[in-house]
Amino acid sequence: MRPVRTAARAMLASIFVVDGVRHFINPDSKVDTARWVLDRVGPTLEKTDPRIPTDPRTVVRAKAASDVLAGLALATGHFTRPAAALLAAGLLPTTAAGFAREKQPTDLLKNLGLIGGLLLAAADTQGRPSLRYRTTHAVDRSSRAVKRAAKTARRDAKIAAMSAAAARKMPG
């Protein structure tokens, strides 16, 4: 299954790397979409942290750079789950803007398909148990070991008490 995962991650990441480079070099093609999103969330961003850029060209370039970096991480198998989650989160505003502005339904469906694939990649543990699973089972194993040790200690204490009582009854 590993070669399939590797190829699928590379194919999924390719659109983000190529489009990211393209939009980093020429951000003007996405400025209108960024402006539409920033008109809605810009005031909240400015209140939250005034250092966050609200200039559409800067935001497009920042998103393009993050798409390239996360796409390369996903394609190469490094930090695949966080990279896929970052790419999916970055695709949500674009999809919402396209849906609200009634762009091509094909673009909307393409973005929804990409989000679905990224969510699968973000949830994929590559056949290994997740951290939550390992932690839960480690706790269960530990609690069973503690119960077993307590039961053994009670049994040993009972045997020791019986031995001491028998020793007191013996002459000498």
Task: Say what the alpha-carbon torsion angle 164, 169, 171, 172 is, to the nearest 10 degrees.
Answer: 30
pLDDT for the residue 25: 95
**Segment-wise mean pLDDT, segments of 10 residues, the chain, 172 residues:** 83 94 92 86 81 87 95 92 93 82 77 88 77 82 90 92 85 72
Distances, alpha carbon 71 to alpha carbons 30, 31, 78, 80, in Å: 19, 21, 10, 9
Q: How far apart are CA 144 and CA 140, in angstroms?
A: 6
Please give the Cα distance from 144 to 131 (Å, whole number): 20
Alpha-carbon distances, residue 77 vs 2, 74, 100, 121 (angstroms):
11, 5, 34, 11
Domain ranges of the chain: 2-123, 130-172
pTM to 2 decimal places: 0.68
Specify whether the CB–CB gap between 121 and 12 falls below 8 A. Answer: yes
* The pLDDT of residue 120: 86
pLDDT at 139: 86
